[in-house]
Amino acid sequence: MEAPERIEPNLEVVRELKELTGGAFKRCGQCATCTIVCDLSAPDGDYPRGKMLWAQWGLKDRLLRSLEPWLCYYCGKCSQRCPRKAEPGETLMGLRRWLTSRYDVTGISSLLYRSWKAELLVLFVVALTTALGLLAYGFGHGNIRIYDGAQAFLSSAAIHRFDWAMAGVLTLFLGINAARMWWFTMVKDEPHKAPLASYLRQLPLLPLHFITQKRFSACDSRRPWAIHLVLMLSYVSLFTLIMFFLHDMQSGPAINWKVHAIGYAASAGLLGTVIFAIRGRLAKVEEQYKHSHESDWLFLALLALVTITGVTQHALHRTGHPMEANVAYVVHLSLVVPMLLLEVPFGKWSHMVYRPLAVYFDSVRRDALVHEKVTATRPEAAEGAAAGRAVHESHA
Amino acid sequence: MDKKIGVYVCTGCDIGTSLKVEALNKIGAKGAVCRQHAQLCGPEGSALIRNDIEKEGVNTVLVAACSPREHTGVFNYDPTKVSLERVSLRELVVWSHPANDEDTQALAEDYLRMGLVKAQKMLPVEPLAENTDRTILVVGGGVTGLTAALEAARAGQEVLLLEKDAKLGGWMAKLHKRYPFEAPYTELQPTGIEDLVKQVASEKRIRVVTGTKIEKTSGGPGLFDVTFAHDGTSETVRVGAIVEAVGGRPYEGSKLPHLGYGRLHNVVTSLEFEEMAAKGKFERPADGGTARSVAFIQCAGSRDPAHLPYCSTHCCMTSLKQARYYRDAVADGKVYIVYKDMRTPAQYEQFYKKTQEDVGIFLTKGEVVEVADAGSAGVKLTLDHTPLGEKIEIQADLVVLATGMVPATAVAAPGKAAPPPPPPAADAKKEDEAPKDVYIASDVLNLQYRQGPEPPILQFGFPDSHYICFPYESRRTGVYPAGTVRAPMDAADCALDAAGAALKAIQCAALTAQGKAVHPRTGDMGAPELYMSRCTQCKRCTEECPFGTYNEDEKGNPVPNLTRCRRCAICMGSCPERIISFKDYSVDIVGSVVKAIDVPPEDEEKPRIVAFICENDAYPAADLAARKHMAWSPHVRVIPLRCLGNINLVWIADALSKGIDGVLLIGCKYGEDYQCHFIKGSELAGIRMSKIKETLQRLALESDRIRVLQLSLDEFATLPGIFDDFAKKVEELGPNPYKM
């Protein structure tokens, strides 16, 4: 007989989670309706129900070890059916916020999630710094009346270098945080660490899930997945164009259809999905849009503004207003920089790394269990035997 | 007194169009008056009968119309002057059988003949003339008793309130606060007990005696003589009815050493924690330091076959309440609640949800397998089967056992030996014996009843009462248990219970004063009469009366206390000498009704079946089936009995020797979840019928000709099938050889 596991609730964690989730999870009565209606909850898992209880007790170590919050895409069925309005969907959303802030080594994430005022202030400072820097650079090296070429106010070559420098910084932070995620979930306190072979066997899952969010499409309602996919592909397209084809993007004023056709489609995709999301959050009809954390609004606002200013500077340039285009470009970049700098490593956008990683790590764990014949010792797996399996059998 | 029978045949409600009424009138002509009318229940028809009573001197009315359960207000005459018999032509004949059919006509004529015989035999009742008192005695001064006293007094009743403690208030006075009992059901409320005590004190109709104990209670409803001691004197007061609000007590922690009580200093009961809350100090008893965490163990000794097998209903809410006390007092204190199931019904759910929202309250389902000392860390609880893991451990400075409640009637008082079981009847065989009632000498009412000193117990020490059929009543007529002595409940339910019981007590005292029976034969003014010169002192009536009507004199003769009687007539069925009868119901009357059935000769191939059915469940079931126009065999003749426990073998012998082919007996369900209105009448009938085999053998008849069944009202749709199935069986057996 194994020794009983000592459980010690953490009031501080409960308080943090109350802030990040709205606090409804404390009402959960463990009926498991959420787990039953969830299309994604694994037969040997117990989410959302189990995570609700861990959140109620503030079980920090368990939560930190858990990949499950990332395995949810917030279709909202659980929250719809919850008889006590304990908002399991929003709780998992809040847990993702909490995990993001815990993975982050700098503590910036935690600060931004817990205080929207601080977030606004940081945004403003970064934006202002960027704007001033760009203006200084522009007036020092070019002419505000010229948009492209050697005399350009902000030459594509310079911006290109700047972009790559920033990408390096972002990748560094994100890489560190992702490594911490791996450490918390796969190594620290893990009695049976997955072997390298398992990591290698499951590796193809990582790009697959990054690009397709295949798991999301398993939800009952596929529309949110489709919308998310459009948003994500638009973003990736623009990112690729900017990182690798900036020179072609900025030359002109004649339209270079080879790159601009993709740019227009991606901009339309971004703008459309952002408007859809804003309308959804205002209407509060769909479950995943009912509860909006301040960080959700800031994220959408930034994305909308970045898209609009991007399109504007492009349009001004093509219509023969290079000076106005330069001004709009400065504004655009002053929004892009804080958005990327804050959201990618420390905010909502970090999920583009954490989610595919979580799916990947989860598969690695399972692979290890199968191949190493390791006994399941994780609490969720042990209990899932009772809860999840029965549920899924009845589903079948 | 000369019988003058008026026979009234109603032709409304399909009767006139389905039957040959002239033929019925011919039978009815045996009465002094025989009339038919298209609507006897209408003003004209009703006046017709009343006119005959007043002008023609009709003193026995036979109404052949609808079921006797219908229009009871219309066909309602002074039972001391006019006997009433009703023949159900509508439900038992035309609505349940094909119209204008030879067999249907024969059925109607039989019922009318049977009714006529009964009308000829029955006599007007003679009401009890006793000098009764209508004071309500309330025993117990807790929430229930105080509320009952107030309710009764405010209804205009004199009340005597007796309390064993020196002060009123009961357990509620020991509580710090109450969990919410009114909207929004989210915050703790003051107990309000001082106010309730004040209201009682200022009510001039209530006499309060505290620090007292009932020494004995003799008599019966309207005539209870209650002797109680106070201030060194003994006083006897006559009261009309009793509200037994003696409450209960928490289950003892000392019986729960497996949960640490008595072994570990830091394990306390809910009540002890309540005292801490009242003092505002949540200290570890072991060292006096403030408890940094508290763990509540729910169902401590409840829903546990080794302790209390039942749920005490309040403990979940009480622990949530106490969690709030503690969290309000200790800022970063942690509260654990380990439950089997949280039971917070109806609006209490609001309080549960609100309490859960506190960041410092941690709940989990689980089974406590070990409670052990953890030194300076307090107490270590090992839990099994939790949603947090198969086996987990939590530590708390203080452990609170949420103990259930035990009724005051559950435990024999020290020095009070259990009453000796009634001696078995001299010649009774074991399997023929009725199950013995359980009495616990709990020293509460000290009733002077032959059967035992307190109301009988069904299970878990609660006074037996079929709550659905007999709300608030016990098996001692006029004694109404309310509050936690009746069933585990919280204070809000106690107050409701108190009002209900007070109302029942008032009704009982009032009906008794008019010489009338209480529920279920409410208003019946008849009473059993004993022809004592033939009594053999067999004690069957004294033992079998479900309500303890009969005491016994020193020679063993039954001494009826008629105000205790509910007129079920089980004693009539119990008496081997047939010396117990009613003016309007007797062995002879029913026997004569059986004999009035016309049995066609064998060659007509028309079997006859008598169905003795209970008037409480099976008879209304027949009415319901008929109302739905469900049909059954026309060869069945239904005879309603007050209770199947009235059954007398002589009726069956009469029926069989007359050539009747089968006898069906349908009573109510009996056993632990009994449906019988008279507790065990149908069970007694079953026992009596077990002797029928001898009778049948003597008559050289098949035992299949008799069938005993139980039916509850909700099974009414099966009744036609029961009749038909038995009729088929009887046809298979062939005609009764005794047929002419």
Cα angle for residues A115, A118, A121 (degrees, 5° grid): 150
Residue whose C-alpha is closest to residue B668's, from B649, B684, B653: B684
Q: Which of residues 353-372 of B touch A (CB under 8 A)?
A: 353, 356-360, 362-365
Residue whose C-alpha is closest to residue B141's, from B160, B161, B166: B161
Own/partner pairs, A159-167, CB within 8 angstroms, 24+ separation: A159/A246, A159/A250, A159/A333, A160/A246, A160/A247, A163/A242, A163/A243, A163/A246, A164/A243, A166/A337, A166/A340, A166/A341, A167/A243
Is there a contact between B708 and B689 (Cβ–Cβ < 8 Å)?
Answer: yes
CA distance A35 to chain B (A): 13
User: Distance between the two ends of chain B, CA-based, in angstroms?
Assistant: 36
* Percent helix, strand and coil across chain A, each to the nearest 5: 75, 0, 25
State the pLDDT at residue B105. Answer: 94
Give whole-number Cα distances, A356 to A75, A359, B13, in Å: 17, 5, 79
Burial level of B268, CB count in 10 A (0-12/13-18/19+)?
buried
Q: Cα(A86)–Cα(A95) distance, rounded to whole angstroms?
A: 14
Helical ranges in B155-269 per DSSP H: 193-201
Q: How many helices (H) and strands (E) does chain A have?
A: 21, 1
Is there a contact between A51 and A63 (Cβ–Cβ < 8 Å)?
Answer: yes
Q: Cα(A93)–Cα(A287) distance, rounded to whole angstroms?
A: 12
Q: What is the CA radius of gyration of chain B?
A: 31
What residue in B sits closest to A25 (Cα-Cα)? Answer: B357
Give whole-number Cα distances, B718 to A13, A48, B67, B288, B618, in Å: 62, 48, 19, 68, 11
* Residues of chain A positioned with their CB less than 8 A from the CB of B383: 4
Q: How many helices (H) and strands (E) does chain B have?
A: 18, 30
Helical ranges in B212-347 per DSSP H: 270-279, 315-329
A348 at B interface, C-beta within 8 A? no
Positive or negative torsion for Cα A35, A40, A43, A45: negative
Record the tokens describing residue A393, joined without a space: 């059998």
A390 at B interface, C-beta within 8 A? no
Q: Which of residues 255-294 of A touch B (CB under 8 A)?
A: none
What is the per-residue pLDDT across B396-410, written as a single tens digit (0 to 9) for each?
A: 999 999 999 999 999
> What average pLDDT values come out for chain B (740 residues) when binned by 10 residues?
89 93 90 91 94 92 95 93 95 95 94 95 87 96 97 97 96 96 95 96 96 95 95 94 96 96 96 95 92 97 95 97 96 96 94 95 96 92 94 96 96 70 49 75 93 91 86 94 96 96 96 93 92 93 93 94 94 93 95 94 89 95 96 96 92 90 92 84 87 76 88 95 95 84
Record the tokens describing residue B197, joined without a space: 């005590």
State the pLDDT at residue A1. Answer: 56
Contact A26 B357 (CB under 8 A): yes
B25 at A interface, C-beta within 8 A? no
* Residues of chain B positioned with their CB less than 8 A from the CB of A5: 389, 391-393
- pLDDT mean across residues, chain A: 89
State the pLDDT at residue B231. Answer: 87
> What average pLDDT values come out for chain A (396 residues) when binned by 10 residues?
87 94 94 92 86 96 95 92 94 96 93 90 95 94 86 90 94 95 93 90 93 88 90 93 90 85 94 94 90 90 94 92 93 94 89 94 91 56 40 37
A9 at B interface, C-beta within 8 A? yes
A18 at B interface, C-beta within 8 A? yes
Chain CA centroid to CA B490, Å = 22
Q: Cα(A33)–Cα(B321) distance, rounded to whole angstroms?
A: 27
B345 at A interface, C-beta within 8 A? no
Q: What is the CA radius of gyration of chain A?
A: 23
**Residue B316 backbone zone (phi > 0: left; psi -120 to 50: alpha; other: beta):** alpha
State the pLDDT at residue A49. Answer: 94
State the pLDDT at residue A295. Answer: 87
Cα angle for residues A8, A380, A100 (degrees, 5° grid): 75
State the pLDDT at residue A387. Answer: 40
Q: Which of residues 320-339 of B touch A (CB under 8 A)?
A: 332, 334
Q: Which residue has the tokens 């007529």?
A: B477
* Number of residues written out for chain B: 740
What is the per-residue pLDDT across B562-605, written as a single tens digit (0 to 9) for each?
A: 999 999 999 999 999 999 999 999 999 999 999 999 999 888 88
Cross-chain CB nearest to B353 (options A6, A27, A387): A27
Q: Cα(A305)–Cα(A296) distance, rounded to whole angstroms?
A: 14
Q: Has the ipTM of the complex gone over 0.90?
A: no
The answer, yes or no, to whether the previous bond of B184 is cis (omega within 30 of 0) is: yes
Q: What is the DSSP string of B294-327?
A: EEEEEEETBS-TTSB-S--SSHHHHHHHHHHHHH
Contact B382 A15 (CB under 8 A): no
Contact B393 A6 (CB under 8 A): yes
Is there a contact between B228 and B235 (Cβ–Cβ < 8 Å)?
Answer: yes
State the pLDDT at residue A379. Answer: 46
Helical ranges in A284-346 per DSSP H: 287-290, 294-318, 322-338, 344-346
- 3-state secondary structure (DSSP) of residue A326: helix
* Residues of chain B positioned with their CB less than 8 A from the CB of A49: 387
Own/partner pairs, A314-319, CB within 8 angstroms, 24+ separation: A314/A263, A317/A147, A317/A148, A317/A250, A317/A252, A317/A253, A318/A252, A318/A253, A318/A255, A319/A253
Contact A30 B358 (CB under 8 A): no
CA dihedral of A127, A132, A134, A137, whole degrees rounded to 10 = -160
- Rounded to 5 degrees, φ, ψ at A26 are -65, -20
Cα angle for residues B497, B498, B502 (degrees, 5° grid): 120
State the pLDDT at residue B418. Answer: 58
What residue in B sits closest to A2 (Cα-Cα)? Answer: B391
State the pLDDT at residue B434. Answer: 66
Considering the entire predicted model, what is its pTM?
0.89
Q: Cα(B296)–Cα(B288) distance, rounded to whole angstroms?
A: 19
Q: Cα(B581)–Cα(B573) distance, rounded to whole angstroms?
A: 9
